[in-house]
Structure 1
Amino acid sequence: MTTAAELMSRITAELSTGLAAAGRGRGRPTLVAVAHGSRDPAAARTVRALLAAVRALRPGLRVRLGHVELNEPLLRGTLETLTGDAVLVPLLFGRGHHVTRDIPGAVRAAGERDGAARVAAPLGPHPLLAAALAERLAQAGWRGGDGVVLAAAGSRAARSAADTAATAALLADRLGVPVLPAYASAAAPTVAEAARALAARGCRRIGVACCFTAPGLFAHRTAADARALGLPVAAPLGPHPALARLVLHRYDGELAAFGTPTGTPARTVPDADLPLGLRR
């Protein structure tokens, strides 16, 4: 027979557990930005500048960094030090191997932890990405041109190529000129091949937009190829304000998986303001 003292003890324990769970539910998950990593020391500095811009837009939000490879902290290590829920936002632009395999693999490798971890969509395609690409291209001196090569890292994954093609279409709509995707590795065409294809269409003032978050091997390769052709080439996107807003938009979009926590601001870009095909 349960005594009154035992019953009160059980009620107190259950109430404490319930309040703790409710407290966790009210807290906003940590935003974990997942960068690729690079041996170029400028890459880490650029990514950290982007995250500083994200924090400035959303004061009080916990923002952490993890890398797929080459730089510390690695994603697995970041996850192992976290408590509570987390939303992982890939600082990548399509559904390639890193997004579909490596990042979920790092979550599994981190093992059991106090809280759930979910992976948001990559940064492309999205109108905010097209806005950042267009401004970086203008800053490189491309104005009044008639064709653009959109350089991306490249992947053998068909979905990644589809995402890059969709970003190229958004950029073309924004600029009002043809935009052809090109790749620094793993896929075709190259920057030079895409530039020749635009020239064959009659384009004479061609610029190269760079779908890279930060400096690194592929960004340097793309810049060298563009300059060899005498084409203006944009800098990596880095802490562009539109890219910082896009990181938060991807984070906000994934919050529904946890239930929107109390006090979380409205989405940076409401889905109702986006084209139907990009509401994700």
Structure 2
Amino acid sequence: MSPESQASEALPSRRRRALRGGRHRGDESFLLPPGSPALVLAVPGSAARPGAAVAAELARLVEIEHTGQPALVGFLEGGEQALGPLLGGLRQQRPDEPAAVVVPLITGPDPAVRHAVAHAVAQAPAPMLAAEPLGPHPFIAEALHDRLADAGLARADRIRMMTMVTEAGGIIVATPGGAEAVRQAEITSVLLASRLATPVFTASLDDEAGVKAAAEQLRLAGAHSVAVAPHLIGPEADAGRVAAAASVAGGRHAAPLGAHPALARLAALRYVEALAAALSGNG
């Protein structure tokens, strides 16, 4: 069998399915062949932390909507459902493929999470792959838009005429992490601003002065009101930090992204990208 044929069999195939049972497959939907490496979501924090149930729901969406195979969840802290023991119990189904692809359940770069995932992968008894974080990606902007609309802070439909006048005000995309996380989130902010035809600034949830400065810039730019869009999924930060940021900004806030279908699409996509890169590198 040629290397091209082997790669074709090993990689998930892209597919769309017709409506069935009230559910449908998304654009990023892949058929995993039997014996494919496990897809593991690496979740910041512990299973006992508020918001941890979001990971289980995203795993369910990944397997039902996008892969057809079980998606597993491992937490980076605590003893319950910990990532290390989970990876330790996985074995290769095929000798030329990893036992699992670990997808960090974060919206952007986080050195602590990257290190923890890399350590767990290196300590696993079977070969594993670490995928990239979910963002930045246009899907994140889509999810932020939806959460803002859910809270009544943005139009539900995407604005297609940039000259339209809206009362959406200004948006602060507030992300966990430091300067690098903010730089990466700025990509998403640009995409969100394009969707809403609304000024969008980016700030760190950990930087009260930065949030306040972003709010001031928005008001100087003519924003009638300011809203905070949390650039986080849920388990990785205390929800109280979002409310505190909104208070500093003098506005309201949307909910964290949670188990948004766009994040499930991204998790499946990052899995396939990591697996394809590894197979290509071995070719």
Which bin holds the TM-score, normalised by the shorter protein?
0.7 to 0.9
Look up the match of 1:212: 232
SS at match of 2:217: helix
| 1:171 partnered with 2:171 | no
| 1:223 partnered with 2:243 | yes
Instruction: Map 1:175-190 to 2 at 5 A.
Output: 175-185=196-206, 190=210
CA 1:129/1:74 → structure 2, altered by over 3 Å: closer, same or farther?
same
Select which of 52, 57, 68 maps to 1:60. Answer: 68
Select which of 166, 169, 177 maps to 1:146. Answer: 169
In the alignment, the residues of structure 1 paired with residue 187 and residue 46 of structure 2 have an alpha-carbon distance, to the nearest angstrom, of: 26
Q: CA deviation at 1:218?
A: 3.8
SS at match of 1:192: helix
SS at match of 1:34: strand
CA 1:39/1:89 → structure 2, altered by over 3 Å: closer, same or farther?
closer
Unpaired runs of 5+ in structure 2?
Answer: 1-8, 11-32, 93-98, 155-166
In the alignment, the residues of structure 2 paired with residue 215 and residue 35 of structure 1 have an alpha-carbon distance, to the nearest angstrom, of: 7
Q: CA deviation at 1:222?
A: 1.5
Larger Rg computed on CA atoms: 1
Kindly indicate whether the alpha-carbon contact (under 8 Å) linking 2:139 and 2:263 is maintained by their aligned counterparts in 1: yes
SS at match of 2:253: coil
Q: CA deviation at 1:30?
A: 0.5
Percent identity over paired residues: 36
Q: CA deviation at 1:255?
A: 2.0
RMSD between aligned residues: 2.7
Look up the match of 1:19: none
| 1:108 partnered with 2:122 | yes
> Per-residue displacement from partner, 1:151-178 (whole Å, max 9, x unpaired)?
111135x3x3321121211212222222
CA 1:155/1:230 → structure 2, altered by over 3 Å: closer, same or farther?
closer
SS at match of 2:60: helix
Q: CA deviation at 1:38?
A: 4.9
Instruction: Map 1:257-272 to 2 at 5 A.
Output: 257-259=277-279
CA 1:38/1:197 → structure 2, altered by over 3 Å: closer, same or farther?
farther
CA 1:127/1:219 → structure 2, altered by over 3 Å: closer, same or farther?
same
Look up the match of 1:98: 112
Kindly indicate whether the alpha-carbon contact (under 8 Å) linking 1:154 and 1:183 is maintained by their aligned counterparts in 2: yes
| 1:123 partnered with 2:134 | yes
CA 1:71/1:145 → structure 2, altered by over 3 Å: closer, same or farther?
farther
Q: How many aligned positions are there?
A: 233
CA 1:253/1:217 → structure 2, altered by over 3 Å: closer, same or farther?
closer
Give the aligned residue type for 2:186. Answer: A
Q: CA deviation at 1:219?
A: 2.9
Give the aligned residue type for 2:108. Answer: G
| 1:30 partnered with 2:53 | no
SS at match of 1:43: coil
In the alignment, the residues of structure 2 paired with residue 255 and residue 174 of structure 1 have an alpha-carbon distance, to the nearest angstrom, of: 31
TM-score (norm 2): 0.73
> Per-residue displacement from partner, 1:168-197 (whole Å, max 9, x unpaired)?
112122222221111122x57543332122
Select which of 144, 156, 168 maps to 1:133. Answer: 144
In the alignment, the residues of structure 1 paired with residue 190 and residue 100 of structure 2 have an alpha-carbon distance, to the nearest angstrom, of: 32
Which of 144-153 and 228-237 deviates more?
A: 228-237
Give the aligned residue type for 1:184. Answer: L
In the alignment, the residues of structure 1 paired with residue 198 and residue 79 of structure 2 have an alpha-carbon distance, to the nearest angstrom, of: 38
Structure number having the greater helix percentage:
1
CA 1:78/1:40 → structure 2, altered by over 3 Å: closer, same or farther?
closer
Unpaired runs of 5+ in structure 1?
Answer: 1-21, 261-280
CA 1:189/1:68 → structure 2, altered by over 3 Å: closer, same or farther?
farther
CA 1:188/1:239 → structure 2, altered by over 3 Å: closer, same or farther?
same
| 1:69 partnered with 2:84 | no
Give the aligned residue type for 1:146. Answer: G
> Per-residue displacement from partner, 1:113-156 (whole Å, max 9, x unpaired)?
2xx21111111110111100100011111033131000111135
